[in-house]
Amino acid sequence: MKRLIALMLAVILPIGLVGCGGSETSSTTASPAATESDTLPAATESDTPPAGSKTSITGNIITDDPVTLDVWMIADREAHFTAAIEAYTTEHPNVKIEMSYLDTNTLKNNAMTAAASNTLPDCYYSYSGTIGSYYPLNGYAIDMSSYAAEHGWDDLFLQSALELCSWDGKIYGIPMTYNTFDVLYRQDLFAQYGLEAPVTWEEFENCLAVLKENGVTPWAIGANGNWDLQRVFSLVLEAYAGAQEHDTLAVDWTGDWSSNEAVKNTFEKIKEWYDNGYFIDGFLTLTPNDARNLWYQGEAAMRIDGFIWNMISNDRDMSQYGVFHIPSTVEGQNTRCSTYNTCMMLNPSLSDDRFAVALDFFEYALVNPAFDEFKSYPVAYKAVSHPDAEGFELLEQILEDNITYGTMPTLDTALPTSVHTKLSSALEMYITGSIGVDEAAAMIQAEMEAYLAG
């Protein structure tokens, strides 16, 4: 199975818009030193670098002058990049990498603020889809297409990942992770009440009802942060609307939220679940990680998730967990798996020398097998042996569902930021009784029209 995940990702049909979300922080061990066998191929004698340059441990030619890079990275990659920085700067003492580790919301907010004030760092973690498109489309990210072609990125990275990090046919992101979701559930809780993974909408609804009747909260969802509840909303919307109608609303932005019956059905279904007590207590103020931890404790039965490797890394008892794909409400139709991709973007203010060092470092940190133990799977690059570990078959199943049912972007990445923020507000206001369903749907449509006009 070590190469199966990469092979499966390679055949998943690329999707047009994807990118963002949170995962729990992995527990890791001390960083290993890279050995000669761990590094990428070294340059040969014929590759003598010009004066003022040297051959990197990746085989690339980089400057020998002092270089400092300021980097913003997602917090749960700290162990990986601490190890990579130590190994890289030991080999290249002229390079200093100052990396700040930020949680998801802080990183997204800081990046948007820094772009507006022209104070983005040299390199910053970002996402595919609409949320990531802001930076390349407004001149805040470097087009790396030429470098990618010259340095064989087609051989390093999955083609689908490169396409997800491209806008207008140009590569603006260094691919990092490929994240995809299904319903993860507590097999022990299902078995306790004679339940099996549902394959129809009626069976799915029955699972919710039986769990609640026996004192088990069905959904471990944390609405604080926007994306967790929206992933439920997106899958329920597709269950009612089907793929084509879903995409006119969430991807193409040509549909009318205010008059769409599937939108209203989705609002009403989520309110019904809320009224029935199907969401974990206090879910409107819980973060996704709060809800995930309560799920681990057996306080709820299921959630929309896919961070299998983080669960394995944190020594969860993987025998307790299973995966199922949420059914459609329409017989003969399927729902797709929601998906996003992450990447690193580079500031256009970088000089040629610093640009080359930045790319060289990330190429080294991502592809080098010395750091495989720190990586969060599935990764977006090819040259990685995926580990054999208990529970990894759950990720394999999710990726199989990607192929079987197809993929769609998560709403928090497909929609403009202002629209998905408004969706969260409308959801909360509607399910708590502040507004009606027509007003909730109209709020989203009005925000979309304002965005498109703006």
Handedness of CA 195, 198, 201, 204 (dihedral sign): positive
Measured in Å, how far apart are the chain's first and last C-alpha atoms?
49
| Domain range list for the chain | 4-179+340-393, 182-305+416-453
Handedness of CA 160, 164, 141, 87 (dihedral sign): negative
Q: Which of 22, 112, 39, 19 is nearest to 380 (CA)?
A: 19
CA separation for the pair 421, 250 (Å, rounded): 13
Handedness of CA 255, 256, 260, 262 (dihedral sign): positive
Spatial neighbors of 36 by CB under 8 A, at least 6 apart, are: none
- 268-320 pLDDT, tens per residue? 999 999 999 999 999 999 999 999 999 999 999 999 998 887 787 778 899 99
Across the strands, what pairs with 62? 54
Query: Tokens at residue 137, please?
Result: 């489309």
Per-residue confidence (pLDDT) for residue 370, from 0 to 100: 84
Q: Report yes or no: 412 and 427 within 8 Å, Cβ to Cβ.
A: no
Q: What are phi and psi of 200, to 5 degrees?
A: -125, 165
CA separation for the pair 446, 189 (Å, rounded): 42
Q: How far is CA 53 from the centre of its chain?
A: 37
Q: How far is CA 130 from CA 148, 166, 304, in A?
A: 22, 11, 21
Max CA pair span of the chain: 75
Q: Report yes or no: 423 and 250 within 8 Å, Cβ to Cβ.
A: no
Query: Tokens at residue 53, please?
Result: 């340059």
Q: How far is CA 65 from CA 51, 284, 330, in A?
A: 11, 52, 63
Query: Tokens at residue 372, please?
Result: 């495989």
CA separation for the pair 129, 177 (Å, rounded): 14
Q: What are phi and psi of 99, to 5 degrees?
A: -110, 125
Per-residue confidence (pLDDT) for residue 15, from 0 to 100: 43
Architecture of domain 182-305+416-453: 3-Layer(aba) Sandwich (3.40)
Q: Which of 95, 67, 61, 139 is nearest to 349 (CA)?
A: 139
Q: Which of 32, 25, 27 is nearest to 84 (CA)?
A: 32
Tell which phi-psi region holds residue 363, choosing left (phi > 0), alpha (psi between -120 and 50) or beta: alpha
Residues of the chain with pLDDT below 50 are 1-8, 10-11, 13-47
Per-residue confidence (pLDDT) for residue 327, from 0 to 100: 94
Per-residue confidence (pLDDT) for residue 225, from 0 to 100: 80
Per-residue confidence (pLDDT) for residue 307, from 0 to 100: 81
Radius of gyration of the chain (CA): 23
Across the strands, what pairs with 39? none
CATH code, 4-179+340-393: 3.40.190.10
Q: Respond yes or no on whether the N-terminal peptide bond of residue 387 is cis (omega within 30° of 0).
A: no
CA separation for the pair 322, 401 (Å, rounded): 13
Fold equal for 4-179+340-393 and 182-305+416-453: yes
